[in-house]
Amino acid sequence: MNTKNISNIKEITSALLDEIGEDTNREGLLETPSRVAKAWEYFSQGYRLTPKEVVGDAIFNEKCNDIIAVKDIDFFSLCEHHLLPFYGVVHVGYLPGDKIMGISKIPRIVDVFARRLQVQERMTKQVADAIEDILQPKGVAVMAEASHLCMQMRGVEKKASFMVTSAMRGAFKENHKTRDEFLTIISQDKR
């Protein structure tokens, strides 16, 4: 994000605070526009990254016939409808073809898409599509579980609710045994 964007976000934040009846000159709010601009720079960094950039050269030729899974990848995102957070975990599995990916790259791919204005359904699909595009595996499975503050703080105010979305590709979509194995893996306790 460039300096002009940061400056514009500061101005917009000051105007918003004025509009809701706040005094932007009071001590607690003096630096708020600057802090909000820095926060939005972080929240939106996914627009300035691509999955291929974050994976880089961490792709390795390796024959593997078993599911590789990373579970409980925590994430935070912003609902594009209300600009309120939703947060939770993503579980990712893939059945390799001839290539595997460095394990830390999967959470980085999740972050690329989470750090944009989002809906959970699209984010889940984007993660699966990116891994499929980069690795060309035999299959990809992505499941996201999230709490949405837009539903908990306003509207229906259902505080204990959460949403689950999934995207299955290749062997995970076509073979229920492969899909069931993934679901068993992600449902197991950590140790």
CATH 1.10.286.10 fits 3-43, yes or no: yes
Catalytic residues: 79-82, 120, 148, 150
- The H or E element containing residue 80 is none
**10 close to 34: Cβ distance less than 8 angstroms:** yes
Residues of each domain in the chain carrying CATH 3.30.1130.10? 57-187
Quick one: pLDDT at residue 191? 62
- Written as one letter, the residue type at 172 is F
Mean pLDDT (10-residue bins), the chain, 191 residues: 90 97 96 96 96 97 95 97 96 97 98 98 98 98 95 78 95 97 92 62
The dihedral region occupied by 25, where left means phi > 0, alpha psi between -120 and 50, and beta the remainder, is alpha
- Written as one letter, the residue type at 113 is F
Quick one: pLDDT at residue 107? 98
pTM: 0.94
Quick one: pLDDT at residue 190? 72
Report the C-alpha gap between 189 and 191 in whole angstroms: 6
Percent of all residues in the chain with a pLDDT value above 90, rounded to a whole number: 88
Quick one: pLDDT at residue 159? 75
Residues of each domain in the chain carrying CATH 1.10.286.10? 3-43
CATH 3.40.50.200 fits 57-187, yes or no: no
The 3-state DSSP class for residue 173 equals helix
Quick one: pLDDT at residue 128? 98
- The H or E element containing residue 91 is strand 85-95
